Structure 1
């Protein structure tokens, strides 16, 4: 499969470039539509996982620090202190539309308009599910975004797409998932190995589609609880992920092109400044995953080749500190006294990138049972299954003898059993842990649930009124490249600020 990724990208990279804005979106000088859809799907999946540029900025610099998985004293990591950097904040928006959207819209359009009826129906269903995955992350980060007219620059020459209300985007995304999953069967898709998520397994795509429906359905809980329950019930009835074999993840390679590599891993190869937040380290107390997630830097120059896995030595860095103020806390005289993401085990360029995991699904099912009793009526069973899956999921990294054992899982569940009195907080705190490095999702679920309970920092000059931001600000070029639609979005949603709440994030 990894060799196949390399071969596909060699075919496709010559027609893909990093455009600057909607004026350049979907220009087609090399007739990409002449390609069969398989290589395009491969490229779309890799683009959806993100390159170093957008993962560094949107996923890590902002989301991971705001959600207190990570922290940093340096000014580059603006999210740690709720400061505004236009390029960082707008990066996920920029790359979503310049790379991800235009490719997946091209695939969908090709399959919808196939004049020779040469492509099987399930290929369109798979592309529609991937399209929902791409759009739901950008709307969850920014709110109202281009959707119904997006990515169609060389299809219908619309270079200034309107921003759709997030309420309408969610309605359509859920309907898309309902239709696409219903059309899938159980056989191997015509995409075959070009599908680098599931190798064309329609059953796995179907379960992924319903699992996304579960995620999106729960997003509605604050704004429309009844619709939330109905969509969650549809997802459960349709059939969500059943085991770790159903995890949706990209199995990256170490080159030869940048997009083949894990975008997060590329960041950690280039940046030595970030540390794990003490909030995250404290949450992992007595958790066997701590030895996998965390490592103390070495004193030598090559900090990427080794590090202490002794959990008793791990120490998180509080958020909101500078190179000066860190001196005032114990161990602050040397930043290497604080744990970093484990470069030996989980931050390599050939490590997996998770779209959605079975453990996440089990924690959401636990929540569905807590709220409505519609997922079997036993939230403890789902909590236990989620913990087990989350710990076993670590084996997808190349961790050697660091695997979490069955005994360790049993001991953890004995020491930290499901607590019905605090069920929502417990399962969503575990959701926050298992989505580490998938911090756009961590950020969204925290805003939805309020868990885990986080203490914001109030750094001088922050632009969110001393509170954890509720969204990112749009790519600034939109103000001049798509001004009318940009302004209409602001008039409907509110000012383009960190503290403006998106549609589903009501107080």
Structure 2
């Protein structure tokens, strides 16, 4: 044992010396050309940093940036350009009162090639911290802590690949500063493998291992069995995501996850949400949306979700959003439509998001698991229950998660429909989401809430995805992914499409284009990445799993 400790200490000193010598020749900013964006910084290689769990905090903040101290905005700005000015709006959850670049920006599909680099920056931060954890857990043989790191890594990399398509992944661990791109299909394959391995280790060994990560784990306070349930639930999510590209394999993964003894998220204590927990140490958590909606006066309620919740008489409307401050309309929630000509003073009085600095950022909650199982059930998969019961359990869980009492008549409502959107700003337009009609394009015969076992597949799917989408609010990347996968719910299209024809207006944005920084810093590999994408590098090219042929128009 003494020899092992001595050897371990010598190895650490050698690595630290090498890193410090290398660091002396590098700049402090990881985006500089002579710094590898995916390798640990000298601070991250410091054993004291690892022993305090700082790299786990760094990984979590790379998935959902929320680490600002009061009064600071670095993480809020990162969140804004990575997610708020992309998935949060493309999902239909939010609109913007900002007019960046005279309204030629992501929201009108004139993608800002600087903004779209931020998820690559976050992936760099994610992988640097993961590599540091890997180094130390390789030495200590701590498979439990490494398993948690792997699950966080998968959570982050799936967000990135679901935004762009092919991205660097497997080559990052080799140490190259210009890593090769992986196809999205191979990234999902790696993700399934990593999640299954991590789940099995955590389930088998976690119960008796204590909570050494409690002070640093801002998701589960170091509870390894909860991490196992989250990993298992992620397998179910990714299985459903791939159903239109490989239904047989999707069914296999989904049924295996549902049957696995590790279990799935089943109660509110299982919800995977990023927030400061009672057992955490001295770390910062400030929901970045507070800065964006209150301080910057930019993030606003989305027109689509306001129209849907208003029409359904859904009390979650006021749990999600505040009343507007528009003169004469101060008792109403009013949303902003994306892709319009914004004049800031006209739209800043529209509804702010109803968030506080402590509002958690969701990764996955119990309601989503019920809806995933409900979809599996209508596909004939073994999901441990029937679709109706799973659907209704998902709705009940979602109301509980929102802290709102579900109306007694909600599940039986077979009449309410989303309402027409009316823009009260000067020159604003009114648009119907067309939920009153039916048609062969979608196959949906009714757009209401009440479950109907006799309805056709598309009608059942719409009901599940609509309620799932409502429940996913504040998880823009997942809401956008589900909209692209299924075409549900209907989301108001942009009025100003400045993509030069690359994005079909009614089809909406399917991905983010690669950032200019990748063309500058990794030119050879990005060309290979585009070939793996299978289409031009623009916002209209569909991802590997985006193969549903019955997308509503």
TM-score (norm 1): 0.82
Q: Distance in 2 between matches of 1:129 and 1:357?
A: 16
Q: Distance in 2 between matches of 1:410 and 1:373?
A: 30
Q: Which residue in 2 is equivalent to 1:271?
A: 296
Q: Does 1:20 align with 2:31?
A: yes
Q: Which position in structure 1 is the counterpart of 2:513?
A: 473
Partner secondary structure for residue 341 of structure 1: coil
SS in 1 for 2:516: coil
Alpha-carbon distance change, 296 to 376 in structure 1, aligned in 2, over 3 angstroms: same
1:199 aligns with 2:221: yes
- 2:274 alignment partner, SS class: strand
Report deviation, 1:64: 1.9
Secondary structure in 2 matching 1:260: coil
- For residues 454 and 22 of structure 1, do their structure 2 counterparts lie closer, same or farther at Cα, with a shift above 3 Å needed? farther
Q: Does 1:104 align with 2:102?
A: no
| Closer, same or farther: CA 23–412 of 1 in aligned 2, 3 Å | farther
Does 2:101 align with 1:91? no
What root-mean-square deviation, in Å, do the aligned CA atoms of Structure 1 and Structure 2 show?
2.8
Deviations 1:361-413 (A, max 9, x none): 11111111111241134111111111111111124xxxxxxxx22xx343322
1 CA distance for matches of 2:378 and 2:267? 21
Q: Hey, what does 2:538 align to over in structure 1?
A: 497
TM-score (norm 2): 0.76
Hey, what does 2:58 align to over in structure 1?
Answer: 43
- In terms of fraction of residues, the more helix-rich structure is 1
Note if 1:426 corresponds to 2:441.
no
Deviation, structure 1 residue 45: 1.7
Q: Check conservation: 1:73, 1:322, Cα contact below 8 A.
A: no
| Structure 1 position 417 matched with structure 2 position 442 | no
Moved more, 375-384 or 238-247: 375-384
Using the TM superposition, give the Cα deviation of residue 257 of structure 1 relative to its aligned residue in structure 2, in angstroms: 10
Which residue of structure 2 lines up, in the alignment, with residue 4 of structure 1?
Answer: none
What SS class does the counterpart of residue 361 from structure 2 fall into?
Answer: strand
Aligned length, in residue pairs? 453
Separation in 1, partners of 2:29, 2:389 = 46
- The answer for the alignment partner of 1:260 in structure 2 is 285
Distance 1:40 1:73, change over 3 A: closer
What displacement does 1:103 show? 0.8
Which of the residues 500, 519, 523 maps onto 1:483?
A: 523
Runs of 4+ in 1 over 4 A off after TM superposition: 15-18, 256-259
Aligned to 1:224: 246
Alpha-carbon distance in structure 1 between the residues aligned to 2:265 and 2:42: 41
- Partner of 2:266 in structure 1? 242
Aligned to 2:359: 351
Query: Equivalent residue for 1:173?
Result: 191
Alignment of 1:176-191 (within 5 A): 176-185=194-203, 186-187=207-208, 188-191=210-213
CA distance in 2, matches of 1:257, 1:83: 41
Contact 2:213/2:222 (8 A) holds in 1: yes
Partner of 1:401: none
**Residue 460 to residue 149, structure 1, CA distance change in 2 (3 Å):** closer
Q: How many angstroms does 1:197 deviate by?
A: 1.3
SS in 2 for 1:129: helix
1:108–1:128 CA contact under 8 A, matched in 2: no
Find the partner of 1:32 among 21, 32, 45: 45
269 and 18 in structure 1: CA distance in 2 versus 1, 3 angstrom threshold: farther
CA spacing shift, 1:201–1:482, aligned 2, 3 Å: same
Tell me which structure has the larger Cα radius of gyration. Answer: 2
* C-alpha deviation, 1:18, in angstroms: 5.5
- Change over 3 Å in CA distance of 1:60–1:17 after alignment to 2: farther
Q: What displacement does 1:67 show? A: 2.1
In the alignment, what sits opposite 1:435?
472
Q: 1:124 to 1:230 in 2, by over 3 A?
A: same
Q: Is the 8 A contact 1:105 1:131 kept in 2?
A: no
Correspondence for 1:149? 171
Residue 296 of structure 1 contacts residue 336 of structure 1 at CA under 8 Å; is this kept in 2? Answer: no
Q: Secondary structure at the match of 2:363?
A: strand
Q: 2:40, 2:348 → 1: CA distance? A: 47
The structural deviation recorded for 1:17 is 6.8
8 Å CA contact 1:140, 1:444 repeated in 2: yes
3-state secondary structure, aligned to 2:114: helix
3-state SS of paired residue (1:122): helix
Instruction: Give 3-state SS (helix, strand or coil) of 1:496's partner.
Output: coil
Give distance in 1, aligned partners of 2:472 and 2:450.
20
CA distance in 2, matches of 1:124, 1:355: 19
Corresponding residue for 1:52? 76
Q: Distance in 1 between matches of 2:314 and 2:359?
A: 22
Q: Are the structure 2 counterparts of residues 19 and 446 from structure 1 closer, same or farther at C-alpha, using a change threshold of 3 Å? A: same
1:161 aligned residue (168, 172, 179): 179
**Distance in 1, Cα, partners of 2:32 & 2:287:** 24
Q: Secondary structure at the match of 1:454?
A: coil
Distance in 1 between residues matched to 2:33 and 2:136, nearest whole Å: 21
Q: 1:486 to 1:314 in 2, by over 3 A?
A: same
Partner of residue 9, structure 1: none
| Residue aligned with 1:410, SS | coil
Q: Deviations over 1:287-324 (max 9, x none)?
A: 11111112124379xxxxxx96x5xx223333332146
Structure 2 stretches lacking a partner, 5+ long = 1-22, 66-74, 414-448
Q: Distance in 2 between matches of 1:503 and 1:22?
A: 31
